[in-house]
Amino acid sequence: MMKKHQNRILILGVSLLLGGIFLTNCAPQEQRSPEEIAAIQRAKRDSIRKANYNRCLFKMSNADQYKIQENWPAAIRNYKDVIELGCVEDFADPLFKDLAHCYFRNNQPDSAAWAIEEGLIYKPTDLHLLKLMAYYNRNNLDKTIEAWTRINNLYPGNTEYMFELADLYFK
């Protein structure tokens, strides 16, 4: 009985010793600045994008062919695959314009407007995207005015754009 008690005390002592050594040797994780974290995330995103680039090219090609054939759901599915593969930055210009066109032709104007707004995240000064935003939101006066205001801010001397905006204010 005494031997069992001594064994338990010995096991407890060894456990406490090992636990103490383990806890004292643990170093806290080094703290990273927000800039370092952003750089690491950007590097991961770039790595994924590079790895998927050829698949994205294939999907863009498929989507373009489906668009030519006017198979809007298949084209939309392929354009969405490009987004999911993380290649948006490489194909932002044609991707969102074509995706919006497919949504619009598929009688999904809200989704078309969403695609244009997503494209403007990557290309905020793209005149064609801004005009498409005004066009696809033509039933929403506030959004249309917002689009033409952005265009006028980018091209302040262009009277054609000023007249477009003025016409909206008189509606």
Task: Give the residue with greater pLDDT, 21 vs 158.
Answer: 158
Q: Residue 15 domain-assigned?
A: no
Cα dihedral 137→143→146→151 (10° resolution) = -10
At 122-144, the pLDDT tens digits run 999 998 998 898 888 888 888 88
In a domain, 108, yes or no: yes
Whether the full predicted model's pTM is greater than 0.75, yes or no, is no
Distance CA(134)–CA(154), nearest Å, equals: 15
The domain in which residue 156 lies consists of 44-169
Average pLDDT along the chain: 85
CA distance 127 to 136: 14
Query: 55: closest CA among 77, 80, 87?
Result: 87
Question: What is the structure's pLDDT at 41?
Answer: 84
In a domain, 102, yes or no: yes
How many separate domains does the chain show?
Answer: 1
Q: What is the CATH number of the domain that holds 109?
A: 1.25.40.10
